[in-house]
Every structure is written in structure tokens, then in C-alpha cells.
Amino acid sequence: MFGDDLEGLYETLDEPAIRLTFGEVEARLARLHEISNEKRTQFQARLRNFQKHGIPAGIGSGRGRPVHYEPGQVLELALALELTQLGLLPERIGRVFRDNKFPISQAVLTAARSVIEKGGFKPDRERTDENMPTNTGPWWRTHDEAEDPDSVFLYFDPTALSSLTDIPAKYGEDQASATFYYGGPKLIKENIVRWTAGPIVRRLSLINVTAVVWALVVRTKPERQRQFCEQVHAWADLLQMQHLVESVPVAQPENLIVIDSDEALLANAEVFRNLKGLPRHVADAMIQRAQIRVAGERKESGKPSKAE
């Protein structure tokens, strides 16, 4: 489906961005979770309730105007549903998302990149149900598991009884946020006993972010699947940037530089390159991608670029 490498990862961003209506997003997620037809209205109400808690970011909850979702925002909703399945209420999910931009961005960047590199999960023999998991057993397998994208997980202790405890006041942080991080299967396998040995954390919930990304990609028209995944990757890039801006201490608030757009990033490229904790090659790559996106927007709008 995709190419074999990351060359030209953002080439398709010169094309019109993928934007979905609420109805299209709801239909896609309803299929993913196999929501029964008679419960679709209730499911729609759940999705709209997320918006009241800032999920996904950048989407208002007002009425009377059309709302469109980009792939990253669709993924954010999909992850919110996964946390709902694990017992978190929308208000807590909103806090967890706001407090954990770094692990979410890293998990999504890794997952999206791996899906693009590996071309997604290969179908199993006689597979007809889109919700049927891959590699259900050796009798199904038609390829080596090493060919699959690398699984990357978000993990945390959901502490669904949190509202009945003194834990938030005692530790000063929601336990779901306090334990929220990301890692691959090897990291989790090597540490799960130590992590869950108590006395506070005795359980751990896992979300396979790669599987969530792939589930959304395969529900996209074939000719736009790569672009969908690229836009998810770009969304995670921006989320990572937001984390860096929010977490870098500023000694003089009056000199605060807010980098909240591609244009702002390009205008403050040297400041961005010198951010503490940000590898130089990562900064250069993010600046280059911003240049590509800005050039594409100018081309689409007919405005001349600086080079012209």
C-alpha cells in the first residue's frame, strides 16, 4: 500500500488536506467499535460530549457552523474512546491528554512512521471482517510477524475509583496521568513486574497505538491512505512542538516567544534550534517540514513564496 521507506513523507501535503465531517468521523469510529444501529444516537452524543472537554483540541462545541476534523483529530477521538473503554470519564481524559502531550506525540510519531515504513499490516488468509485482528494464530498467518509495523503502546493505571479516594490530594496528580507513558513491547515485557509490584500501582492498561492508527488508515479510501497517515504524523509533530514550548522555562515572560504555527516556527528557527533538550537534527527536520507545508499553502493560495 505505502512505499518501502520515508522518502517524500510529506509530499502529499501539497494536496488538499483530508478533512472529515462529524458524520464521517462518527461512522468510521462506529464501525471500529461495532456500535449497533439502534445505539448510534447515543454514540454520537458521547462523541459530542468529548468536545465539551476539549477533545479533540481545536474543535469547538458550538452549533450552527460546519465542523471538519483532520486525521490527527480523528486519532485523538479514537484514543479518547480507547481510554473510555478502560474506565476513564471524558473530564479525566481531557486532563490526561493535556498533561501528556509528550508520550502521546512520541507514541503516535513512532506508530505512524512504522505503518508507513512497513506498508501496514498484511491481511491474513481469507480475512473478510475489517475488525478481525491480524495474526490470530499460526493457522491464519500468511506472512512473518516481523513484516508487521512495530507496535508501540501507551500504558497507565486507570484508577477508575479515583474519585472515591484521597490519592489525587495525597500525591497532587491524577494517577492516570502520573503513570501515563509509552513504550514498545520489549520495554513493557522487561518492566511490567517491577512497575506493578505495588504498593500504589497493581494494574496497568495498555493501548496499542499502532493498531489504532492502522484501524483508521484502512477505513480511508485507498488513494488517500498514505496521506491520512502522513497527516497523523504531522499532527503528532505539532503536539510534540506544543509540549516543548509549554515545558521550556522562561526566565523573562515579557520575552516569551510562542511557536504555534509553521510561520512562527520559521520566523524563530534559530531560537527553536537552541531549545534545551531538543536534538539539533530533530529541530532541523521539523523546520524543513514547516517550510514544505508553508510552501504548499502558498502554492495552493496563489501567493508567491519568498524565493519567487
Cβ pair 275, 283 in contact under 8 A? yes
Determine the structural domain holding residue 262 and report its residue range. 250-303
Q: Output the pLDDT for position 245.
A: 77
Shortest CA distance to 151 belongs to which of 199, 111, 112? 111
Contact predicate 90/53, CB 8 Å: yes
- 44 and 67 share a domain? yes
Domain count, the chain: 2
User: What is the Cα–Cα distance from 54 to 98, expressed in whole angstroms?
Assistant: 9
Q: Is the peptide bond before 199 cis (omega within 30 degrees of 0)?
A: yes
Residues 158 and 285 in one domain: no
| Side-chain-facing half-sphere of 292: CA atoms under 13 Å | 15
Co-location of 232 and 258 in the same domain: no
Show the cell assigned to 56: 479533540
**What is the predicted pLDDT for the residue at 35?**
94
221 and 266 fall within a common domain: no
Q: With contact defined as beta carbons under 8 Å apart, do 108 and 236 qualify?
A: yes
The verdict on residue 229 lying in a domain is yes
d(CA 65, CA 289) in angstroms, rounded, equals 31
pLDDT number for residue 305: 46
Identity of residue 94: G
SS3 108: helix
Distance between alpha carbon 14 and the CA centroid of its chain, in Å? 21
Residues of the chain with pLDDT under 50: 1-12, 126-127, 139, 305-308
The pTM for the full model equals 0.74
The answer to whether position 132 is within a domain reads: no
Residue 130 is assigned to a structural domain of this protein: no
The predicted pLDDT at position 171 comes to 64
Last residue of a domain, one of 204, 220, 247: 247
